[in-house]
Chains A and B, each alone.
Chain A
Amino acid sequence: MNVAMSNQSTLSPLLLVEDTPSLQMLYRTILRKAGYNTICASNGQQALAKFSEAMPSVVLLDLMLPDSDGMVVMREMLALQPNTRIIVITANGSINAAVEATRAGAHDFLVKPLGDIRLISAVANAHAESRRDLPADIEGNEHTADAIDSTFLGQSEVMQQLYQKISAVATSMAPVFVLGESGTGKELCARAVHLKSARSKNRFVTFNCSAIPHELQEAELFGQAQRSNAPASGIKPGTMIKADAGSLFLENLHDMTPTVQAKLLHFLQHGTVAPLGSGDQVRVDVRIICAATRDPAEDVRAGKLREDLYYRLFVIPIHVPPLRARGEDVNVLARHLLVQIAQEEGKTFTALAPETSIIFRNAPWRGNLRELVNVLRLAVVLHDGPVVTPDMLPPELSAHGKSGKSAISDSMPTGATPADVLSGMTMAQIEELVITSAIRRNAGSVPKAARELDIAPSTIYRKRDTWASTDE
C-alpha cells in the first residue's frame, strides 16, 4: 500500500504526453505499476483532444512536441481547466524553458533522465494537491483517506514501509504508539492511521499532556460535572467524550499526572470515563494513538509512567523515520514547501538549484521537517527567486554540500566510531537498518541492495516479511 497513492483507481486518469514511443512506454509502465490509470498522447493535437475528453487533474507534458510547442498546449489546457496540475518534462539544457513553464502555471517540472521515484513522487504530490481543490461535498468528507498531508508523503523505502504499516494497523482497534524525533510528523502519522480507519468520518482529537497544567488535565480529558446552577445536562464534556467514535491523539504521556494515568487505565480496561466531580460512568468508544520522541519504557523506569498503562498503550509501535533517512524525499518535500512558502510571502521561488538539492540530501536535519520549513522560509524572505541557491542557505547547512559526508557520520560525536552510533540497538534492529539503508541507496531495488550486501534477494524479501509480521 502506498498512502500517497491510495485509492488511485478513484482518481481521474493521468494524461501522459510524450512523443518518443520508448519513453512513453517506460513512463506509462512505471505509472501503471504505481497504480495510476494513464492515458497517452504523442503530439500536441492528440494531447488536447484527450485532455478535453478526459479532463484529467494531472498531466505529464513533454515541452518539445513534434507538431506544437508544449507551452502553447499547456496554456490551452489551463484555459480549459485552470486547476489542472501540469508537470512539464524537459531534457538537460532546457531548464530555462522549464522555469518559464513554471511561471506560466506549470505545477512542477521533471528533467530527463527521469528516475522512477522522482516521477512517481511528482505525480503523487500533484494528485495530493489537486484533491485539495475538491470541495467537501464532492469528496464526501474532507477527512478521507486521501486527505493526508502532503508533507507526510514520500517515495523512499522507509516511508513506503511506514505506509504499509499504517495501512495494516488502521483497521485494528489496538492502541498505536508513534515514536520519532521531534519534527518528523508524528501527528501526521497518527492522523493517517485515523484517516485510513473506519473511524475516519469521526473526530481526530489531540491532547498534549505537556501543554495542559497538571491541575486541569483531569477535567480537560474526562470532563467535569457542572455546578448545581448549571444547565440540566450537568456535564462539561472532556476531550475523551469529544473524541467518541473517533481517535484521541495523546502526546507526552510522561507529563500526565498519576491520577489521570489511573483514570486512563480504567478507560482502557472498562471503556468508560468518569467526569471530574461526577459519580457517573460515561461509556465512550475511542481509539488511543500516543506519540513520544523517546522510548516510553524509559519513562516507566524513571517512574513517570505507570507500567500497567505502558503495557496497555504500547501495543503497536510505529517508528516515523527522521528526514535524513528519507533519501530523495527531502528534495521532493522541499520543492513542494518552497512553492507554498513563496506564495505566502509573495515571492517567485519555484525551484532548488542542483547544488542546493545535494546539500539538502546530505544535511543531518536534526530539526526534521520543522528545520526544513525554517530554512526555506529564511531563503524566501531574504532573497528573490526563482531558484534557491546555496548562498541563500545558513552557512552550517551549506557545508553539507562540500563534505559529502553521510548523515550518520555528521551526527556522530567526535571520536565516535560508526559502530558507536548503533549503541543500544539489538542485532535484529541493526540488520533491519543496514538492509533498509542499502535498499534506499539503491533507489528501492532489492536485487541491487542484495548485490551490495552480498546476500540473496530472497533473504531480504524474507526478512521484510518477518519485520512486517513482527510490527503487526
Chain B
Amino acid sequence: MTSEVLDHETLAALLEAGGIEIAAALAEQLTNDFTRIHDSADAQISRLDLGEKPDFKAIHMIAHEMKGLALTIGAHKLADVSLRAEVLARDKDGEALASHLPEFTALCDRVRDALEQSIESLIT
C-alpha cells in the first residue's frame, strides 16, 4: 500500500528496524512530531497574515526538521516542499514564503493522515 504522499514500505521498514517493542511508541512520537512542526508552521502563517515580519530563522528550522522527518518516513513530496521552504527562508524571501507555507502545512496534514492510517494498518 503506497499513498500518493507516503511510501508505506519505507514506514514499514522503519518500524521493523526500530523493532516491534518500540513500534507503538515510535509511531506515537512520529505523530506528535508532525503535529508540533505543523503547529509551528501554522503560527508562522498567522504571523505573516497579521503583516508581521517573518521569522526566517524559525521557518528555516521548521522546514529543515520536517525535511529530515519526511525523508525518513518516505514522504518524498513533503521533503521537496520542505526543502523549498527551507531555501526560501534562507534567502529571506517573505513574499514567496507567504504563498508557499500554506502548501507546506496542507501537505503536512495529508501526510499525517496517511501516516496515521499506515501506522494503524502496520501495528494492528
A positions within 8 Å CB-CB of B:
19-23, 25-26, 29-30, 33, 62, 64, 66, 91-93, 112-114, 116, 443, 445, 447-448
Contact = CB atoms under 8 A, between A and B. Distances in A.
A3 B32 CA distance: 37
B72 interface: yes
B83 A21 contact: no
Contact of B25 (A19, A20, A25, A448): A25
Nearest to B22: A29
Given A92-B67, A93-B86, A23 B72 contact: yes
Nearest to A33: B19
A445 B9 CA distance: 13
**B interface, size bucket:** 20 to 34
Contacts of A91: 64, 67-68, 71
Contacts of B32: 21-22
A23 B14 CA distance: 10
Contact of A22 (B10, B19, B30): B30
Contacts of B74: 113
A306 B18 CA distance: 52
B16 A445 contact: yes
Given A22-B29, A23-B72, A445 B13 contact: yes
A19 B65 contact: yes
Contacts of A29: 18-19, 22, 26
B104 to A, nearest CB: 15
Contacts of A21: 29, 32-33
B101 interface: no
15 contacts: A22-B30, A22-B32, A25-B18, A25-B25, A29-B19, A64-B61, A64-B64, A91-B64, A91-B68, A92-B71, A112-B67, A112-B68, A113-B74, A114-B72, A448-B13
Contacts of A22: 26, 29-30, 32-33, 69
B1 interface: no
B79 interface: yes
Given A21-B32, A22-B29, A93 B18 contact: no
A64 B58 CA distance: 12
Contacts of B14: 26
B50 interface: no
